[in-house]
Amino acid sequence: MKRSDFSWRHVGVVFRKELLDTSRDRRTWFGMVIMPLLLVPLLLLAMPVVVEGQMEKVRQATVRVAVVGAAHHPGLVDHLKGTDAVEVVTAGDPEADLADRRIQAIVYLPEGLAESLAAEIPAPVRVAYDGSDQNSVEAQGRIVRALSAYSALIVAERLAARGMDPVILHPLGLSVENLAPPRRMIGFALGLIMPMMLAMWATLGGLYAAIDAAAGEKERGTLEPLLSAPPARIAVVLGKYFTVVLTSMIAAGISMLGMVVAFTIRPTALLGPGAAGTASLAEVLPPAAAGTIFLVALGLAGVFSALQLAVSLRARSFREAQTYLSPLSLMIVMPAVFTQFMAPDQVPTWFYYVPLLNSLMVFKEALMGIVNPGHIVTTLAVSLVGIRLTLGFAVASFRREQVLFRV
Amino acid sequence: MLEVRGLSKRFGRAGILAVDGVSFAAAGGEVFGLLGENGAGKTTTLRMLATVLQPTSGTATVNGHDLVTEATAVRRQIGVVSSEPGVYDRLTPREHLFYFAGLHDLPRAEAGRRADRLISRLGMEEFADRRSAQLSRGMKQKVALARALLTDPPVLLMDEPTAGLDVTSARVVEEFIEESRSAGKSIIFSSHIMSQVEKLCDRVAVIHRGRIVAAGTVTELKSRSLQERFEDVFVRLVGEEA
> B164 Cβ partners below 8 Å, 6+ apart?
B83, B137
Q: Are B50 and B2 in contact (CB under 8 A)?
A: no
Per-residue pLDDT, B16: 87
- Interchain proximity A17–B75, CB inside 8 Å: no
Average of per-residue pLDDT across A355-383: 94
- Interchain proximity B50–A224, CB inside 8 Å: yes
- Interchain proximity B80–A9, CB inside 8 Å: no
DSSP A46: I
Alpha-carbon Rg for chain A, nearest whole angstrom, is 31
The overall average pLDDT reported for chain A is 89
CB neighbour class for B31 (10 Å; exposed up to 12, middle 13-18, buried from 19): buried
Task: Select from A222, A224, A229 the Cβ nearest to the Cβ of B88.
Answer: A222
Instruction: Give the C-alpha separation, B202 to B192, whole Å.
Output: 16
B40: nearest Cα among B199, B160, B156: B160
A21 in contact with B, Cβ within 8 Å: yes
- For chain A, give the percent of residues with pLDDT over 90: 58
Q: Are A393 and A307 in contact (CB under 8 A)?
A: yes
A227 in contact with B, Cβ within 8 Å: yes
The pLDDT tens digits of the residues spanning A229-267 come to 999 999 999 999 999 999 999 999 999 998 888 888 877
Q: How confident is the model at residue A212 (pLDDT cuts 50, 70, 90)?
A: very high
* First-residue to last-residue Cα distance in chain A: 21
Dihedral sign, CA of A306, A307, A312, A314?
positive
A8 in contact with B, Cβ within 8 Å: no
- For chain B, give the percent of residues with pLDDT over 90: 69
The pLDDT tens digits of the residues spanning B65-121 come to 999 999 999 999 999 999 899 999 999 999 999 999 999 999 999 999 999 999 998
The overall average pLDDT reported for chain B is 91
B193 in contact with A, Cβ within 8 Å: no
Q: How confident is the model at residue A273 (pLDDT cuts 50, 70, 90)?
A: low
- B137-174 in b/e form (b: 16+ CB < 10 A) is bbbbbbbbbbbbbbbebbbbbbbbbbbebeeebbebbb
- A336-372 in b/e form (b: 16+ CB < 10 A) is beebeeeebeebeeebbeebbbbbbbbbbbbbbbbeb
How wide is the angle at C-alpha A372 spanned by C-alphas A369 and A376, nearest 5°?
110
A406 in contact with B, Cβ within 8 Å: no
Instruction: Give the C-alpha separation, B216 to A31, whole Å.
Output: 57
A118: nearest Cα among A164, A169, A157, A166: A157
Per-residue pLDDT, A65: 95
Dihedral sign, CA of B112, B117, B122, B125?
positive
- Interchain proximity B144–A401, CB inside 8 Å: no
Instruction: Give the C-alpha separation, A273 to A249, whole Å.
Output: 34
- Interchain proximity B84–A401, CB inside 8 Å: no
- Interchain proximity B87–A222, CB inside 8 Å: yes
A253: nearest Cα among A288, A193, A210, A201: A201
Per-residue pLDDT, B182: 93
Q: Is the pLDDT of residue A407 over 60?
A: no
- Interchain proximity B85–A5, CB inside 8 Å: no
B15 in contact with A, Cβ within 8 Å: no
Q: Is the pLDDT of residue B229 over 70?
A: yes
Q: Is the pLDDT of residue A180 over 90?
A: no
Q: How confident is the model at residue A173 (pLDDT cuts 50, 70, 90)?
A: confident
Phi-psi region of A316 (alpha: psi -120 to 50; beta: other; left: phi over 0): alpha
Q: How far is A210 from chain B (nearest CA, A)?
A: 15
Q: Which residues pair with B81 in a beta bridge?
A: B158
Higher pLDDT, A295 or B170: A295
